[in-house]
Amino acid sequence: MNILEQLQEVANLAQASKWKRLQKRPLGYILAQLRRRLFPKGEWAVQAHTFWGQKMQLLLPASLDIYLTGGKTHDSEIRLARWLIQELKAEDQFLDIGAHYGYFSLLAAHLVGPKGQVQAFEAASTTFRILAQNAAELPQLKPNNKAVAQKAATLKFYEFSNKHSEYNSLHLEQFEGEDWFAQDPPKVHDIEAVCLDDYLLPSAFRPKLIKIDVEGAEYEVLAGAKAFLSAHSPKIAMEYLAASRDNAPHLAAQSLLAELAYFPHIICSSGHLERLNSSVEDYLQRKGEDSDNIVFVKA
């Protein structure tokens, strides 16, 4: 079974009944569900196995889908994985900004092999600790406990509990209206931020692909990379929010990319790219989705 077929098994499980998922990993499924109900604010460390056969450390309940199925199961994440599998080759280089526990970084490290290079940025301290554990035995994967911003600086970073850790962000205001916010306020700490132009241009690291998932800091990340993106042409996969979720940072990021001759593409179910003939907002509205991974490609 090749890696795309293994990913399809994850997709099948994502669409399957609870009974089918229970059959896949009965003890893990039952224990995870019990702990989530009995200790809704707790977290616990586990070891998962990804669909490509790699061990991965997790803190549950975040990334429960990886623990139960071997992969991230949202349709947008399955399509992103398909695209990466078809795009990244041995010895390629990949940049992951907002890596969380490192699922896509680990997949990229597997695809590019020992002669390739993956750099992963994760600003949240607890999350980074798990990322660093996952990178420990992969010399081609370098984890960085830093934020990425328009300028090098020390910034305030907001870190939620495990349950909402995928919302860790430099920008708090976007979550203040959420129902869960009052019950799970974040901790704030200082974090060193780097500018991609300063970081990439003096180095030999030339990513073929860049993944950005930074919860409202999309424009700052790209504004700090204008010189690099003018000189080079990496494809950029960015989580893009619908207008209903206050997507001003995404609109600003798209406008900046358009100035650099980048155009938005959707990832089809096959993992191939298709250029959008409408706005990203219209596409999301037609799909009835509040977010998707959009790939920007220089013309």
Q: What residues form DSSP beta bridges with 47?
A: 57
Q: Is the pLDDT of residue 6 over 90?
A: yes
Mean pLDDT of the chain: 92
Q: What is the pTM of this model?
A: 0.93
Asked whether the predicted pLDDT for residue 169 surpasses 70, the reply is yes
CATH number for the region 74-298 comes to: 3.40.50.150
Which is more confident, 41 or 69? Answer: 69
What DSSP designation does 166 have? G
Place of tokens 């526990």: 101
Cα(186)–Cα(180) distance, integer angstroms: 11
- Give pLDDT, residue 160: 85
Q: pLDDT digits over 110-151, tens only?
A: 999 999 999 999 999 999 999 999 999 999 999 999 999 999
Identity (one letter) of the amino acid at 93?
Q
Of all residues in the chain, what percent carry a pLDDT higher than 70? 92
Residue 17 has pLDDT above 80, yes or no: no
Half-sphere exposure of 227 (CA within 13 A, CB side): 11
Strands 262-267 and 291-298: antiparallel
Question: How many residues would you count in the chain?
Answer: 299
**What pLDDT is attached to residue 41?**
67
Instruction: Give the pLDDT confidence score for residue 161 in this predicted structure.
Output: 82
Per-position DSSP letters for 184-196, written without gaps between them? SPPEEEEEEEE-H
pLDDT tens digits for range 39-68? 666 788 999 999 999 999 999 988 989 999
- Domain map (residue ranges) of the chain: 1-72, 74-298
Distance, C-alpha 111 to centroid of its chain: 16
Of 134-143, 178-187, 287-296, give the lowest mean pLDDT range. Answer: 178-187
Give me the pLDDT at residue 163, please.
78
- Min mean pLDDT across 88-102, 132-146, 241-255 is at 241-255
